Amino acid sequence: MHGDNMYKLLRELFPFCRSITGGGVRETFKTIARQIPLEVTEIPSGTECFDWTVPPEWNARAATLTGPDGKLVADFAANNLHLLGYSEPVEGEFTLEELRPHLYSDPRRPDHIPYLTSYYKRRWGFCLRHRQLENLKAGVYKVKIDTTLAPGSLTMAECFVPGRTDKEIFFSCYTCHPSMANDSLSGVVLNVELCKHLLARGGDHHYSYRFLFVPETIGAIAYLHRNQQRVLDKTYAGMVLTCLGDPGDFHYKKTRQGDHQLDKIVENVLKHSGKPHELIDFFLPGSDERQYSSPGFDLAVGSLMRSVYGFELYHSSGDGLEFVTADALGGTFAMYADVITALEGNFRHRNLKPFCEPFLSKYGLYQTLGAQRDLDSQIKNILNVLNYSDGTRTLAEIAERTKLNLLELVEVAKILVDKGLLERSGEPD
């Protein structure tokens, strides 16, 4: 169900020409707002955000490149990747030699249109399949690029889902890529589905959750500039969502800290999922985690992906609707939902019967837990939670020490609290 929901929304959003600014982003948010409540913010062009300045707003209406034979070589209406992102307006005739500095291709992937942009230097151009570029004939070509670059604003949006505490966990995706399915859009649709999942709980969760939709780099920077103190005061952890819809193995890029509770949780969930996966130390450049984890903020932000950015079809027309699947999206949602469950249960506890083991049958624990799992496994989980719950260790730390399934320990801890054998004694650091 979740995978089908996400793939349907992805198909709806795919045609929009998104960039770091412009109408395509606003149309994207209008579509998303039909599913979750969004607070949309406009940051005016020229706004200084730390060391950056919000650029002019760019909008593209049409762009065509017509060959000497009168046939279209590139047409923005057929594929918005054909137009170099942030191209300035141009209309005129050019010989092939005059045109070549404005034509871009990728020899490594000759059958795909590359995705290229020029946000901060004025240019114009077209992106072509390399095989197509190699076969262009000499002659006069007609160029028509109908775009605008003018004072406007950068658009970003968020949905805040309050919990029992004001300590926040955020999920951030980027909305600046045009028609590419896995890089960017898979993160957008997962962010929507996770938000719906949390909203459906009606506030029955410990942490508050913030779902961010921002253009990559400049959007994250603008968001942090605008909300600096709240982010520093309230944020517990975060994750950047991208590359989540292909059928590849899972990869987790750790936080800058490398040993945060989030890292322990994701590692345990992946390990006990039985799914092939790889853990990767924090690296740069990456995506928006490099802004959230910059030294001044130093937020604990990880990224659980399928194929890591830079995959074979990355930033090309090959990253289309056929590259992602509803099944892969659904599997990714399930993994993130398990991470949220683990985050929500990862506390320090104190054993209320610390002198020797309690007589478990007296509390009905065999019958309570026996229907679902092997009895020996259940008793092992109970005894480990009770033994290590001296008020100093989180459940994630206990799971790391014992090599047990954190999600099972979370379930056991809830039952032990209900039975009066355990009490919550503190939040994780």
Q: Which residues of 232-242 are buried (b: 16+ CB within 10 A; e: fewer)?
A: eebbbbbbbbb
User: N- to C-terminal Cα distance for the chain?
Assistant: 35
- Structural domain of residue 409, as residue ranges? 348-426
Q: Note the pLDDT of residue 378.
A: 84
Are 103 and 236 in the same domain? no
Are 72 and 157 in the same domain? no
Which tokens belong to 198?
């949390």
Per DSSP, the chain holds a count of helices (H) and strands (E) of: 14, 19
Q: Note the pLDDT of residue 121.
A: 96
Closest residue by Cα to residue 169 from 343, 303, 38: 343
Which tokens belong to 258?
């490398």
Are 47 and 75 in the same domain? no
Q: Note the pLDDT of residue 76.
A: 98
Q: Is 92 helix (H, G, I), strand (E, B) or coil?
A: strand
CA distance 165 to 331: 29
The DSSP letter of residue 316 is B
- List the CATH number of the domain containing 402: 1.10.10.10
Are 143 and 205 in the same domain? no
Q: Which of 345, 373, 407 is the last residue of a domain?
A: 345
Q: Note the pLDDT of residue 85.
A: 98
HEC profile for 172-186?
EEECCCCCCHHHHHH
Are 29 and 76 in the same domain? no
Q: Which of 345, 362, 391 is the last residue of a domain?
A: 345
Q: Is 2 helix (H, G, I), strand (E, B) or coil?
A: helix
Are 260 and 157 in the same domain? yes
10 Å Cβ neighbour count for 375? 10
Number of domains in the chain: 3
Q: Note the pLDDT of residue 426.
A: 86
Are 179 and 303 in the same domain? yes
- List the CATH number of the domain containing 27: 3.40.630.10
Are 202 and 318 in the same domain? yes
Are 240 and 294 in the same domain? yes
- Report which secondary-structure segment, H or E, holds 306: none
Residue type, 414: K
Q: Note the pLDDT of residue 374.
A: 56
Please give the chain's pLDDT, 429 residues, in tens.
899 999 999 999 999 999 999 999 999 999 999 999 999 999 999 999 999 999 999 999 999 999 999 999 999 999 999 999 999 999 999 999 999 999 999 999 999 999 999 999 999 999 999 999 999 999 999 999 999 999 999 999 999 999 999 999 999 999 999 999 999 999 999 999 999 999 999 889 999 999 999 999 999 999 999 999 999 999 999 999 999 999 999 999 999 999 999 999 999 999 999 999 999 999 999 999 999 999 999 999 999 999 999 999 999 999 999 999 999 999 999 999 999 999 999 999 999 999 999 998 898 887 555 545 555 788 899 999 999 999 999 999 999 999 999 999 999 999 999 999 999 998 898
Are 235 and 316 in the same domain? yes
Are 240 and 260 in the same domain? yes
- Report which secondary-structure segment, H or E, holds 237: strand 235-240
How does pLDDT run across 398-410, given as a tens digit for each residue?
Answer: 999 999 999 999 9
CA distance 8 to 99: 39
Concatenating the DSSP letter of every residue in 193-218 gives HHHHHHHTTTT-SSSEEEEEEE-TTH
Q: Which of 102, 130, 148 is the last residue of a domain?
A: 148
Q: What are the C-alpha distances in Å from 156 to residues 69, 74, 160, 416?
A: 43, 30, 14, 44
Are 95 and 24 in the same domain? no
